[in-house]
A and B are shown apart, each in its own frame.
Chain A
Amino acid sequence: MAKVEAREQWSGQLGFLLSAIGSAVGLGNIWRFPGVAYTSGGGAFIIPYVVALLTAGIPILMLDYALGHRFRGSAPAVFRRLGKKFEGLGWLQVAICVVIAMYYIVILAWATSYIFFSLNLAWGADPAAFFKTDFLHVTDPAFTLVMDWSVFWPMLALWVLVFAVMSLRVRKGLELANKIAIPLLVVMFVALVVRALFLPGAADGLTALFTPDWAALADPGVWVAAYTQIFFSLSVAFGIMMTYASYIRPRANLIPTGYVAAFANSSFEILAGIGVFATLGFMAYSQGVPVSELKGITGVILSFVTFPTVISMMPGGPIFGVLFFGSLFLAGFSSMVSIIEVIIAAVREKFALSRPVAVAVIVGFLAIGSMLIFATTNGLNALDVVDNIVNNIGILTAAVLECILVALVVRKLPELQHHLNQTSTAHLGTWWRILVGILNPLVLGYILIATAITLVTTGYDEYPGEFLLLFGGVTVAFLLVASVIMSLLPWRTDVDRFTPLPLIPYTNRSGKEVSA
């Protein structure tokens, strides 16, 4: 039985922290949070948002840290070490990363192109037509292999960049990329926000975002929106934080680091909310309409149609465009490499591959797959459907199963709590076990079931049923088949020969010794 190379490690706490923040801060922070907050109670949204952060986001983040750090492996290795029959849950999380990686790179390719388009405002007078027709050559939703070369070439270049970063291993690749990207992202985005705040109409945009609609707090949908936002924003329960935590040295201050990473992620969301709505306020001012009448304030359309429209209106627009699309690229790229690392770690451990071989095989596979599916004239439609399915069904399923498995099936929460507490200078109480074991399966399970029922009964957006069935169905089938087949294949490393750190007594904050 082969033994995989000695486990790689971050250079220290800062390297891990920046990489964890880089993974959490992604496209959703910039293009999803502001719109969700605005449509879910405005200023009042801060209440369900903070409640969701404290009761779901941070507890599940700590669960991922604990699993990855205690069982020191990729997602499949971690779940196998909980019990051989649970390995499939790890592969489900890896399969989710495979799907996300394939379409995430496309958005990065768009952002990269738009950095250059910003220089001469290449989208002209009609950014919507430019994006869909001139740039993406979007056709009606249907499977096609007709390539969109204006997306293909940037994608190819980005895959080469991903290959280079992943080849350089954890410290010189992932960690260094994040140590460059995150400070640069903060500087660029703060510059963008400051500029936006001085635009005429910015105050109206902020008034629209922060004026509270207290009645919204009585709407369960607003609370669901808050939990969903926090949950997806933190990149939990699909292997990333588990894999990253497995690269932390045995002695690590996990709990304080987790709090910093979680609040840093949310801090960036608040900053994005201010920047995006100050900009939208300027757009409304320029068009002579109230902010409430603006369309396209979230997601792909916000970034690639609404923002180009605003950029064309403002003095110094090209610089603003470079800052915005550059920020989008940096936020997305630091998340992208974390997603790929989940796959590489899992495949390396299962098949005893060296890192160069694993990187070449996986990046090659993902590159070809992503181009055949998403670099086509159907790319935007396919991305929309696959993203919806993998997030709302795939990740939520993985999260609910992870909580139920750890809390109720193998009953490892007390052990994991002790592990976190004995390695950290801050401690988690019984409340953590209640949140992970009871509240989160209930809340996330409710959201999952409600979403699945809506998808089945009313479909998604205005896509034809057969198109949803093709791309949504294939996505679900891939997740299931990959998790079953991969767990049936034999391990070529001695994954079961593993002893976690011994549990030793620690002294809690009130000075009492807590025995193992």
Chain B
Amino acid sequence: MTPVAIAMMAVAVLIIWGGLAVSTWFMVTHPLDTSHHPHDDHDFDAAPAQD
């Protein structure tokens, strides 16, 4: 492979696979708070119709 092709392959891999790694890391290290939340009791069908 030519140096420029290697460089561009590295850039592509770094950005896209790096993006996957960073977003996965963020998702795992920033989970939702598991304590009780008002949304847990929400009844979607309880209220009158909306338009």
Partner of B42, one of A263, A269, A501: A501
Judge if A498 is at the interface, Cβ distance under 8 Å: yes
Tell me the smallest distance from the CB of A496 to a CB of chain B, in Å. 4
Check B32 against A253 for contact (C-beta < 8 Å): yes
B42-A502 in contact (CB<8A)? yes
Known: A210-B12, A260-B20, A270-B17. A43 touches B5 (CB 8 A): yes
Min CB distance A39 to B, Å, is 16
User: Does A250 have its Cβ within 8 Å of any Cβ on chain B?
Assistant: yes
Cβ A260 vs Cβ B24 within 8 A = yes
Number of A-B contacts (CB under 8 A): 120
| A263–B39 CB distance below 8 A | no
Chain B residues near A257 (CB-CB < 8 A): 27
B5 adjacent to A251 (CB under 8 Å): no
When the two chains form their complex, are residues A251 and B39 in contact, meaning their CB atoms are under 8 A apart?
yes
Give Cα A496–Cα B5 distance, bound, in whole angstroms. 56
Q: Which of A223-262 contact B (CB under 8 A)?
A: 250-253, 256-257, 259-260
B4 A46 Cβ-Cβ under 8 A:
no
Least distance between B7 CB and chain A CB atoms (Å): 8
Q: Contact check: which of A42, A81, A253 meets B31 at CB < 8 Å? A: A253
A207 in contact with B20 (CB, 8 Å)? no
CB-defined contacts of A209 to chain B, threshold 8 Å = 5, 9
A contact residues around B13 at 8 Å (CB): 270
Residues of B within 8 A of A510 (CB): none
Closest to A6 in B: B45
Q: Which of B1-34 contact A (CB under 8 A)?
A: 1-2, 4-9, 11-13, 15-17, 19-20, 23-24, 26-27, 30-32
Q: Mark A260-275, 1 if CB is under 8 A from B, else 0.
A: 1001101101100010
Interface residues on B, range: 35 or more
Smallest beta-carbon distance B39→chain A, Å: 5
Q: Which residues of A contact B8 (CB under 8 A)?
A: 42-44, 46, 210-212
Instruction: Give the residues in chain A near B44, CB-CB below 8 Å.
Output: 72, 498-500
Q: Decide if B27 touches A211 in the complex (CB within 8 Å).
A: no
Give CA–CA (A266, B37) in the complex, Å: 34
In the bound assembly, the distance between CA atoms of A269 and B12 in angstroms comes to 11
Q: Give A264 to B45 CA distance when docked, in angstroms.
A: 35
Q: Please, which residues of chain A bring their CB within 8 A of the CB of B12? A: 43, 46, 210, 270
Q: Which residues of A come within 8 Å of B, CB atoms? A: 3, 13, 42-44, 46, 50, 72, 81, 83-84, 203, 206-207, 209-212, 250-253, 256-257, 259-260, 263-264, 266-267, 269-270, 274, 423, 425-426, 494, 496-502, 504
- Chain B positions near chain A (C-beta within 8 angstroms): 1-2, 4-9, 11-13, 15-17, 19-20, 23-24, 26-27, 30-32, 37-40, 42-51
Q: Can you name 18 A-B residue pairings with CB atoms under 8 Å?
A: A46-B12, A83-B51, A211-B5, A250-B42, A251-B40, A253-B32, A260-B20, A263-B20, A267-B17, A274-B9, A496-B51, A497-B45, A498-B45, A499-B45, A499-B50, A501-B39, A502-B38, A502-B39
Given contacts A263-B23, A500-B44, list 18 more A-B pairs with CB under 8 A: A3-B45, A42-B8, A43-B5, A43-B7, A44-B8, A46-B11, A83-B51, A209-B5, A210-B9, A211-B8, A252-B32, A253-B31, A259-B26, A260-B20, A260-B24, A270-B17, A426-B30, A499-B46
